[in-house]
Amino acid sequence: MPGSYTLQQFVAELRAITASRPQVSAILQQVKPLARRFATSSELRGRCNLQCDEQQGFGFQLLHEEPDHMLAVAVLSWLPGRGTPPHDHGTWGVVVGVSGDEVNAFWQRVDDGTRPGYAELRRLSEKTFSPGDAIAITPEIIHSVRNETDRISVSLHVYGRNINFTGRSQFDPERRTVTPWTVVQN
């Protein structure tokens, strides 16, 4: 019964999948359906607090991470009309829509990355993700997220490592800058 799938069961399966250190593509292929299943669980629905950080535009509710910061599971709550700058993750990830829609724009870095603090990006595509939709993210993918609705949207995020411990970056396409990025987690 999908509604009874627990965080404890989900994390146990994540540990089993990653224990042998398979290729990222194999991890993503196995984690994606499990994340979809957990996103529909009554336990996850009961844990969504919808608290958002006004300054950053979203709330990051950490549900689980290992002592070494691996296998992070979080619920993100997005304020209406708010989102993120383009960013990478520095780790693999799976994101599943829980409620509301989120617009993801995908970007490509076109400079060679040799100038510190400098980055040129090209916008590639855009896709709206709805509840139940899932996206698999490799460490080098650059995307931005925006809630273009008039109510809070919620998504489940599963990462190979807590994103505040990956050395990830945010990008400003207009100023052509790249800077380190961490998020406020509650």
- Does a structural domain hold residue 56? yes
The total domain count for the chain is 1
**In this structure, is the dihedral angle defined by the CA atoms of residues 142, 163, 51 and 66, taken in order, positive or negative?**
positive
pTM score, whole prediction: 0.94
Per-residue pLDDT of 15-39, as tens digits, reads 999 998 889 999 999 999 999 999 9
* Residues 28 and 92 sit within 8 Å (Cβ to Cβ): yes
The whole domain housing 67 covers 2-180
Beta strand 142-146 with 177-180: parallel, antiparallel or unpaired? unpaired
- Does a structural domain hold residue 185? no
Give the pLDDT score at 3: 62
Round the average pLDDT of the chain to a whole number and report it.
Answer: 95
- Does a structural domain hold residue 13? yes
Per-residue pLDDT of 74-124, as tens digits, reads 999 999 999 999 999 999 999 999 999 999 999 999 999 999 999 999 999
